[in-house]
Structure 1
Amino acid sequence: MGTVDDLLAELDPADRPSIEHLYALAREEVPEAEQGKGYGMPALVYRGKPLISVMRAKKHIGVYPFSPEAVSAVAEALADHPGIGLDKGTIRFQPDHPLPDDVVRALVVARKEQIDR
C-alpha cells in the first residue's frame, strides 16, 4: 500500500468523503504529521511513530490510532452513538453513522500526547 493520498485516490466515491474528512481533522490537530505507514497501512506519522490510519475494510471503515489507550480515551464519548464499534485498538463505523468531529480530534490528541511522552 502507498501513501494516504494514494489510498484516498483509490477509494470508492461513497467512502472517500468520510475517510478524507477524518484525515483532514487529524492534520488540523497535528499539522506536522506526515504521510507514512503504520503496520503496513497508509497512515499519518508523527515524530516517526504512526498517529492514525483510516481504512475501508470489507464491512466497515476502521480507525486505527495504533493505541488501545487512545481508543479508551474516547470510548465513553462514543457509547451512545449508533453503529460504532470499539475494539482494543480500533474504532469501526459506517459512512452513514460518522464519528463526531470532537471525538476524532480527542482521539488524535490522545495519540499525539502518548507519542510525546
Structure 2
Amino acid sequence: MDKVATIDEYHRLFPDVREELDLMRRLIREEAPMAEERISYGMPTFRSGQNFVHYAACKTHIGFYPTPSAIVAFQSELSGYKSSKGAIQFPFDQPLPEELIRKIVRFRVAEVLEKKGKKPLQK
C-alpha cells in the first residue's frame, strides 16, 4: 500500500469502498468534533491528546480499532460481528451499524476525557 499523509489520501486508495470509509469518518467526526485526524499505524486515526479510535479498509471489511476497553463494554452488541481483543470487523456486504459506532466513539471520548480529568460533553 502507498504511504499516505492524510485521511483523504487514504480514502482515495479504496475507490470501491470509499463511501463506507467516508461514512465511518463522518460518524466519528460527528461524535468527536474536537478530535484531531491523522494517519497512525498506516490507518485513519482520531485523537484528542491520545489516540482513541482507528479504522482501516481490509479485503472484506472495515477494521475498527476502539481499544480493548470499548470492545469489552459493548461485547453483547458486538456479538453479530467478528471481534478480537482490540478490533471489530464490519463486513462490506452489510450496512455499517451507525448507532453502535456512535456509541463506541462516545464511550472512547469519555474515557479519554476522564483520563484528562474533564467531563464528557453531553449530547
TM-score normalized with structure 2 length:
0.79
In 2, the alpha carbon distance for the partners of 1:92 and 1:107 equals 14
CA displacement at 1:95 relative to structure 2: 1.5
**% identity of equivalent residues:** 32
Who is 2:75 aligned against?
A: 75
SS class of match (1:88): coil
The answer to whether the 8 Å contact 1:2/1:42 transfers is no
Match 2:98 to one of 78, 97, 101: 101
- Look at both structures and tell me which one has the larger radius of gyration over its CA atoms: 2
Alpha-carbon displacement from aligned partner over 1:27-67 (angstroms, at most 9, x marks no partner): 00111112123444331222x211222211234320112x1
- Unaligned 5+ segments in structure 1 are none
In 1, the alpha carbon distance for the partners of 2:52 and 2:113 equals 11
Who is 1:32 aligned against?
A: 34
CA displacement at 1:74 relative to structure 2: 1.9
TM superposition outliers: structure 1 runs of 4+ over 3 Å: 37-40
In 2, the alpha carbon distance for the partners of 1:74 and 1:99 equals 16
SS class of match (2:54): strand
Match 2:20 to one of 18, 21, 25: 18
Who is 1:49 aligned against?
A: 50
- Unaligned 5+ segments in structure 2 are 115-123
Matched to 1:5, the amino acid is D
Give the RMSD, CA atoms, in angstroms: 1.7
Who is 2:111 aligned against?
A: 114
CA displacement at 1:110 relative to structure 2: 1.2
Count residues in correspondence.
Answer: 111
The answer to whether the 8 Å contact 2:61/2:90 transfers is yes
Who is 1:64 aligned against?
A: 65
SS class of match (2:75): helix
